[in-house]
Amino acid sequence: MSYRSPEELSAKAKELIVEYVDKCDSLKPKERTQIPAQEMPTQDPFIRRTNLQEVAIGFSEEQAQIEAMRCLQCIKKNCVMDCPVNIDIPGFVNKIAHGDFEGAAQIIKQTTLLPAICGRVCPQETQCQLHCAVGRALKDVEKSVAIGRLERFIADWERKSGKRALPIIKPSTGKKVAVVGSGPAGLVVAADCKREGHHVTIFEAFHKLGGVLRYGIPEFRLPNDIIDHEIETLLQMGVEIKTNFVVGRTRKLIDLIEKDKYDAVFVGTGAGLPIFMGIEGENLVGVFSANEYLTRANLMRAFEKEKADTPIISSKKVAVLGGGNVAMDSARMAKRLGAEEVYVIYRRTEHEMPARKEEVAHAKEEGIEFRFLENAKRIIGDEHGCVTGIESVRFELGEPDESGRRRPIEIKNSEFIVEVDTVIVAIGNGSNPLISQTTPQIQVNKWGNVLVDATQKTSLDKVFAGGDIVLGAATVILAMGEGRRAAASINDMLAQQIESERALKNSYAL
């Protein structure tokens, strides 16, 4: 499909809307499925691979309305059920269709405080959009109603309008909640507990908030000012923030309860443990975990080479090992940092890649080369200990394994050399072990994931957990869903405590 500029798409939508605007409520389902699905305007691939500005620019108002009119307003709301936080999707989409953007914002905000983020990074095609009736009718999930893009549209519209809808906060309860980690799970817990009137403190190890949103997801997918805007909302709500505070080191978790008198603790410390392949040469100069590469580029701003003090390797040829969203982010960042050739090396085929199709498509447009059915066997270096290449080996696909994907089988004697000067290992992340190592009472499984019950409660009294620390590396929206559940459990627990304390006080008064 050839590239169409944002101006072109906007003009087309302006023409089209005239046809539909008065029929908004009277359109029949069949007519709705025939409304053209709106294409997301993007930066030109040749320009955008040299800058960090957002690739996806967002729908115009007309585009949003037209797209919203495609919704059939089904009685059985598959989309709501498939959303990890059960946003009232038909509700807000209907408002957009009628041009009531403020109304749509109100509906979204009842359930999620981070729509600008979810609208951008959620894998909607495997969640709310998966069973959309429109996509099913058109036999193509990519033709489902673009729920994510509509959510993003509303969030951006509200932010640009300068209005900030602060949620109502109940009177102060005197109870204190400690939130460890300021990633998506922690941010949601902070907001939900603050709304109930509890005092909330977020403890963040880094000097900037956001967790993986900040250090992991590049600006061209999730701009920093969006994260800053969401955090500003929390500050205005009265949440206390302590950066450069490593719970487990600066203060033991148990001391937050016993010495600092926090009534509840939420652990949202994430999947901050890089997984290496364990192959020869992995410690050569020029080999990075995706976490390190992205943290230097994003959080430490190494992309701005003139201003930032944190250096990042200057690469000509980069091999990214892995096939998920992190691999895509690493590859696209490497391209923007000036690499001439960037290879994504994956041992299965495109069909099995866990990365979002949209990310893969964008990566291809930006000139990243995909090498399937290959994997690195060892990394080769020179006499200075620096990477000069990788020895790769070819694979073929056999029977499916436990994940349901076809198992890659190495083809004997198929080794060959690929010349590179940089290798980025993006094969996954595990749960960061700092909290479990410094809090022996918290039980973890063999992969280091914190064990929780259905209410997100850990094995330690008053301590809850959620997000990647529980699930292993997953998604932003799943982390938020867990955060939501944990906050509800914390709020329930504290409400019961308050009630008991009141009853006790009353009994003394009698």
Partner 1 sequence: MNKIIYKEQLSKDVFLMRIDAPLIAEERQPGQFIILQTDDDYGERIPLTIADANIEEGSITIIFQVVGKTTTALSMMKTGDYLPAFVGPLGKPTHIKNFGHVVCVAGGIGAAPMHPIAEALKKAGNRVTIIIGSRTKDLLILENKMKNIADELIICTDDGSYGRRALVTEPLKELCERMEKPDMVIAIGPPVMMKFCSLTTKPYNVFTQVSLNTIMVDGTGMCGGCRVSINNETKFVCVDGPEFDGHQVDFDNMIARLNSYKNIEGQKQKCFVEKTFKAKEVVL
Provide the binding-site residues for partner 1, judged by CB under 8 A: 205-208, 243-246, 249-252, 272-274, 276, 278, 282-286, 288-289, 291-292, 295-296, 300-301, 304, 307-311, 313-314, 384-386, 432-434
Instruction: State the nearest-atom distance from the C-beta of 300 to partner 1, in Å.
Output: 7
Q: Nearer to partner 1 by C-beta: 285 or 474?
A: 285
Q: Nearer to partner 1 by C-beta: 229 or 251?
A: 251
Q: How far apart are CA 7 and CA 5, in angstroms?
A: 5
Q: Nearer to partner 1 by C-beta: 311 or 400?
A: 311
Report the candidate in 158, 146, 159 with the shortest Cα–Cα distance to residue 66.
146
- Tell me the residue type at 148: G
Q: Nearer to partner 1 by C-beta: 139 or 207?
A: 207
Residue 58: other Cβ atoms inside 10 A: 20
DSSP H or E stretch at residue 397: strand 387-400
Q: Determine the straight-line distance between the first and last CA of the chain, rounded to whole angstroms.
A: 78
Instruction: State the nearest-atom distance from the C-beta of 295 to partner 1, in Å.
Output: 5
β-strand partners of 201: 178, 240
8-state DSSP, 172: P
Rounded CA Rg of the chain: 24
In order, the DSSP letters of 36-51 are PPPPPPB--HHHHTT-
Q: Nearer to partner 1 by C-beta: 164 or 249?
A: 249
Interior angle at CA 104, CA 100 and CA 109, nearest 5: 150
Instruction: State the nearest-atom distance from the C-beta of 477 to partner 1, in Å.
Output: 21
For residue 112, CA distances in Å to 172, 187, 207, 508 come to: 22, 11, 25, 42
Q: How far apart are CA 152 and CA 232, in angstroms?
A: 18
Q: Nearer to partner 1 by C-beta: 249 or 357?
A: 249
Q: Nearer to partner 1 by C-beta: 438 or 459?
A: 438
Instruction: State the nearest-atom distance from the C-beta of 132 to partner 1, in Å.
Output: 37
Give Cβ neighbours of residue 501 (< 8 Å, ≥ 6 apart): none
Instruction: State the nearest-atom distance from the C-beta of 313 to partner 1, in Å.
Output: 7
β-strand partners of 389: 380, 419
Q: Nearer to partner 1 by C-beta: 161 or 243?
A: 243
Q: Nearer to partner 1 by C-beta: 153 or 293?
A: 293
Q: Nearer to partner 1 by C-beta: 19 or 304?
A: 304
Q: How far apart are CA 164 and CA 337, in angstroms?
A: 35
Strands 387-400 and 406-410: antiparallel
Burial of 118 (0-12, 13-18, 19+ CB in 10 A): buried
Q: Which residue has the tokens 């908004």?
A: 24
Q: Nearer to partner 1 by C-beta: 87 or 302?
A: 302
Instruction: State the nearest-atom distance from the C-beta of 304 to partner 1, in Å.
Output: 7
Could you tell me if 37 and 67 are in contact, meaning their C-beta atoms sit under 8 angstroms apart?
A: yes
Q: Nearer to partner 1 by C-beta: 367 or 448?
A: 448
Burial of 412 (0-12, 13-18, 19+ CB in 10 A): exposed
Burial of 308 (0-12, 13-18, 19+ CB in 10 A): middle
For residue 25, CA distances in Å to 20, 28, 36 come to: 10, 9, 17
Q: How far apart are CA 136 and CA 115, in angstroms?
A: 25
Instruction: State the nearest-atom distance from the C-beta of 141 to partner 1, in Å.
Output: 34
Instruction: State the nearest-atom distance from the C-beta of 299 to partner 1, in Å.
Output: 8
Could you tell me if 213 and 222 are in contact, meaning their C-beta atoms sit under 8 angstroms apart?
A: yes
Instruction: State the nearest-atom distance from the C-beta of 473 to partner 1, in Å.
Output: 12
Question: Can you say whether the dihedral through the CA atoms of 123, 125, 128, 129 is positive or negative?
Answer: positive
Instruction: State the nearest-atom distance from the C-beta of 244 to partner 1, in Å.
Output: 4
Q: Nearer to partner 1 by C-beta: 136 or 252?
A: 252
Instruction: State the nearest-atom distance from the C-beta of 470 to partner 1, in Å.
Output: 17
Instruction: State the nearest-atom distance from the C-beta of 447 to partner 1, in Å.
Output: 15
Instruction: State the nearest-atom distance from the C-beta of 268 to partner 1, in Å.
Output: 14
- Tell me the residue type at 117: I
Burial of 105 (0-12, 13-18, 19+ CB in 10 A): buried
